[in-house]
């Protein structure tokens, strides 16, 4: 993949709003973009890496955080309702094919697959950061008067499930959820 083509992908992501926000009444001009979300996930991941004692491949974790939504430059941000209808397996297949077309790198595709499976410690850290980003964004919208209680509650439940998989209790204290 050339630098020009990856720059194009990131520009596309800057202009695609996250679907869940639009579906919950956030105006297009205020809805967080996929690029904004991905950046926040990467920063949260970096903070996590600097505050945990677990042995992880930090480069891989940060790579996962940076690439986890690149496929959405082709397929967009799939609404949760669609994922529930088509199932996680088909969603994963669609995202994987889109990712391969966008990136064209075996190494990055393998890292994306590891993230998607969500089994490794590295992928769990990024999935945790991903949910935290959504949770914090929802709280921000709520503070501005938007009705996003359902997203806050659902994301908080997902965060609690992920937290149970960690032995590192410092993570819980750090983010005051």
The pLDDT tens digits of the residues spanning 44-74 come to: 999 999 988 888 999 999 999 999 999 999 8
- Cα separations (Å) of 118 from 49, 115, 123? 17, 5, 5
Listed residue (152, 127, 111, 156) closest to 48, CA to CA? 127
pTM of structure: 0.90
* Domains of the chain with CATH codes: 3-175 (1.10.3210.10)
Q: Give percent of the chain above pLDDT 90.
A: 63
* 70 burial via Cβ count (<10 Å: 0-12, 13-18, 19+): buried
**How would residue 175 be classed by pLDDT, with cut points 50, 70 and 90?**
low
Contact 32, 79 (CB under 8 A): no
pLDDT of residue 157: 93
pLDDT of residue 98: 87
pLDDT of residue 148: 97
**pLDDT greater than 80 at residue 96:** yes
Other CB atoms within 10 A of residue 98 CB: 17
């Amino acid at each position: 993949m050339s630098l020009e083509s990856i720059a194009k992908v990131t520009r596309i992501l800057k202009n695609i709003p996250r679907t869940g926000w639009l579906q919950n009444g956030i105006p297009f001009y205020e809805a967080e973009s996929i690029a904004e979300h991905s950046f926040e996930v990467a920063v949260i991941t970096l903070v996590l890496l600097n505050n945990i004692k677990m042995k992880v491949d930090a480069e891989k974790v940060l790579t996962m955080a940076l690439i986890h939504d690149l496929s959405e430059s082709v397929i967009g941000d799939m609404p949760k309702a669609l994922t529930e209808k088509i199932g996680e397996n088909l969603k994963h297949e669609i995202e994987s094919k889109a990712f391969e077309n966008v990136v064209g790198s075996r190494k990055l595709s393998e890292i994306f697959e590891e993230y998607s499976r969500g089994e490794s410690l590295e992928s769990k850290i990024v999935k945790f950061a991903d949910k935290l980003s959504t949770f914090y964004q929802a709280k921000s919208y709520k503070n501005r008067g938007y009705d996003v209680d359902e997203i806050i509650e659902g994301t908080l439940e997902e965060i609690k499930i992920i937290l149970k998989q960690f032995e590192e209790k410092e993570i819980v204290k750090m983010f005051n959820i």
